[in-house]
Amino acid sequence: MAYATSEIALGTLAPDFALLDTISGKLFSLRDVASTKATVIMFTCNHCPYVLHILDKVVEVAKVYQQKGVSFVAISSNDATIQPQDGPEKMKALAQQYGFTFPYLYDQTQQVARTYRAICTPEFFVFDANKRLAYHGQFDSSRPKSDAPVTGEDLTNALDALLQGQHPTVAQQPAIGCSIKWKHPY
């Protein structure tokens, strides 16, 4: 079953966090990953077909935009007892398999997902130089088993606008994907 993101007011200040990177074993906070140009925080996981459908392109887009000064961070908030393939060891393996050039953080308590009001994977939050929400939604309009190509168009349009000193369009499409696997009770 596909879930869509909730609406969050543009201009909302990015909540801070401190999470362990499954790749390096280091603790990262928002301050550690925030860019003076734009910061992409994506809630993701290892198992969701919506994530796997776009993951190659996400890594490609990240590499291109990191060279332009945009920072990227991926966060998995899934309960690994419900979805064992989303635990830290498997996260590290997936990051290495796909060649992540950004931290892949594990939100074990799920507090970061709750604070960000994340609902599904993949879900993208883009913050401007002042850490204010400028974009929240989908990567693009492609979906598993659809004819739409994976382009990253929605995310890259938002990033291009920010890099040109403009605000991304307000006609932002919600992300659609698998629900975050919440610990019980939620």
70 neighbors 34 (Cβ within 8 angstroms): no
Q: What is the DSSP string of 58-122?
A: HHHHHHHHHTTTEEEEEEE---TTTSGGGSHHHHHHHHHHHT--S-EEE-TT-HHHHHHT--EES
Q: Give the pLDDT of residue 58.
A: 98
What is the per-residue pLDDT across 67-90, written as a single tens digit (0 to 9) for each? 999 999 999 999 999 999 999 999
Rounded Cα distance between 81 and 90, Å, is 13
CATH number at residue 160: 3.40.30.10
Note the Cα 116 to chain centre separation in Å. Answer: 11
Which letter does DSSP use for residue 131 in this model?
S
For residue 97, what are the domain limits? 3-179
51 neighbors 144 (Cβ within 8 angstroms): no
φ/ψ of residue 93, rounded to 5: -65, -45
Taking every pair of Cα atoms in the chain, the longest distance, rounded to a whole number of angstroms, is 44
* Assigned domain for 186 exists: no
What is the per-residue pLDDT across 168-178, written as a single tens digit (0 to 9) for each? 987 789 999 99
Q: Give the pLDDT of residue 4.
A: 53
- The tally of domains found in the chain comes to 1
Looking at the chain, the whole-number percentage of residues with pLDDT higher than 70 is: 96
Complete edge-to-edge strand list for the sheet that includes strand 176-179 = 3-4, 176-179, 120-121
* Assigned domain for 122 exists: yes
* Assigned domain for 185 exists: no
Q: Give the pLDDT of residue 3.
A: 52
* Assigned domain for 184 exists: no
Q: What angle do CA 114, 118, 120 make, to 5 degrees?
A: 130
